[in-house]
Amino acid sequence: MAPHEQVEKCARLLSRKSTDDEKFAGLLLLPRVIDAHDADAWMLVFDAMDIRFVERLMRTGIKQANDVQPTGDQALLNIAVSVIDVLASHTSIATNTRMLERIPTLCTVAAMEIDQVSADAISVLCKLLAHDAAIDRVLRDPSILIQVVDAASKCSDPHPIAQFLDYALNRGSRFVHTHKDTAVARGWAAVVASTAGAFDKSHTALKFELLAAIANALEPITAEDAHYIDEQTLCLSLIQSVSSGCTFVLKQKTEATQYTDQALVLYSHLMRLWPHHVFVGLAMHNATLAVRQREAELALRLACVEGQSAIDSMMIAPPDSHDSQADCMRIRRGWKLSVCAEIAAAWLEWVTQWLDDQPSESASIDEASIYNMMNEVQKLASSVVGFMLDWKERTSEKLMLENGADLIVSSVRFLALWLATDPKLHQAAMPILSMCTLWIVHSPQHGATIAEYVRPCISFALETCGISEAQYAADLMTRELHHDRSQAEEFASPWVGTIEFDDLARAVYSIPSDEDMLRDRK
């Protein structure tokens, strides 16, 4: 700990009453007499110091760097940023309004590509943005981060500033998720829209840097968040820029193909958050939506193809119940199936609801386009069913969920939506029922989610057979079914009337099975 007299001396030198020369001497003295981790001493100095003097040093350094004939001497920036860096390391200082007011100037320094100085400025900004107070400030004044986006387009090496934007956008998204505020939502949308615009227009390495940054920005946002943001400020420009940029990447057949996976992930977020804006052009006869139709069609077709490709990559080495580690590695190879299943599920969920909302025989419905897309989805669904059955036969339902929970959950959601479109699809998926039953009953972590996804399938199967779901659930509880199992083949859905279907329904409705009741009696 620094001697109190030396700390007070620094505080006096840096006070507002001191001359600029005295303040400058105080800045030079600070790192020599105060340990960087001495929070109390730094707080004492910060309370007394004229922080605007440090701001002026940074602005002077920026001016020198921007001169037609720059001196090359960045001493002022080095001194100012190094002091700000230490101050930002202490929470009580980093969240102070006087400190937050330095963010715009720090952003300017960060985007200037001045060797270590810009890197240090980025480090300071990340320390500040780790606190909600700083995130709240930059979202309420989106021009701060928008200037960074604009500057990134002019950088010879966009990686450092793109990494900062990645962090800042992700922090902003997490803040928006927990704070419902109109100004914050509008600020977030403005910054992400600006980033998406740069992503769409760029034809340099920046495009691929921003691809990852936007995907990380959308990942924490829920559908509820997206709806709220869209209510505060229409997100159409953001969506169009992301869609256009992703389509460009997905079409590439050169070295950019390594980024197609990232583009699919980003597009899946777009479909998850704003499905209507993304899909409406695919389902309607509307010339003004033609561009969006082609983009959504490409993404959906590619997702179905890539999903089947992911299955093929996992089947190169079939699952082995005796080698759990190898099975986990196999699942990691096919990670894209989860993303592709989410994209297909988003389409099924949206188009089903959208068709239900349209008036009968509506001329605006593009039946041919919808039919073509459903065929693509059908191919993927059939492949997923076959893959899951093969996986189960070679291992077990328990090992499947242990080794590939995310893949199982996303696949079940996709298949449940697919199976709720046509009872003729049910026969091929009959073995899936017992698998879902086991997962619901025996998985505390994922059972409730799987039950939620599967329940609409049960409702759909009963509805196609003219059976009241409420009556059916009551019958299961009393063990007195009103429909005749011997007539099961006449039901529209081959599931209804089978033991597998009843067992699944009990699991979904949380009705004890006969085995459970016998065990409880014992």
Mean pLDDT of 496-512: 92
Percent of the chain scoring above 70 in pLDDT: 89
What pLDDT score was predicted for residue 106?
94
Mean pLDDT of 347-351: 90
Long-range contacts of 218-223 (CB under 8 A, 24+ apart): 218/173, 218/192, 218/266, 218/269, 218/270, 218/273, 219/170, 219/173, 219/269, 220/170, 220/173, 220/174, 220/177, 221/173, 221/176, 221/177, 221/269, 221/273, 222/177, 222/273, 223/272, 223/273
User: What's the mean pLDDT when you consider all of the chain?
Assistant: 87
pLDDT tens for 193-249 read 999 999 999 988 899 999 999 999 999 999 999 999 999 998 989 999 999 999 888
Beta-bridge partners for 49: 15
Q: Does residue 67 have a pLDDT over 90?
A: no
Name the pTM for this structure: 0.85
Lowest average pLDDT, out of 18-32, 249-263, 281-295, 347-361, goes to: 281-295
Name the most confidently modeled range: 208-217, 399-408, 512-521: 208-217
Cβ burial, residue 147 (10 Å; 0-12/13-18/19+): middle
What pLDDT score was predicted for residue 51?
92
What are the helix and strand counts (H, E) for the chain?
29, 0
pLDDT tens for 478-489 read 877 666 555 545
What pLDDT score was predicted for residue 352?
87
What pLDDT score was predicted for residue 222?
95
Closest CA to 341 of 295, 297, 309: 309
What pLDDT score was predicted for residue 479?
75
Q: Does residue 185 have a pLDDT over 50?
A: yes
Lowest average pLDDT, out of 61-65, 126-130, 146-150, 381-385, goes to: 61-65
At 1, the pLDDT band (50, 70, 90 cuts) reads: very low
Q: How far apart are CA 123 and CA 109, in angstroms?
A: 11
Q: Does residue 290 have a pLDDT over 60?
A: no
**130: helix, strand or coil:** coil
Answer for the pair 246, 267: CB distance below 8 angstroms, yes or no: yes
At 444, the pLDDT band (50, 70, 90 cuts) reads: very high
pLDDT tens for 248-280 read 888 876 555 678 889 999 999 999 999 888 887
Q: Does residue 131 have a pLDDT over 90?
A: yes
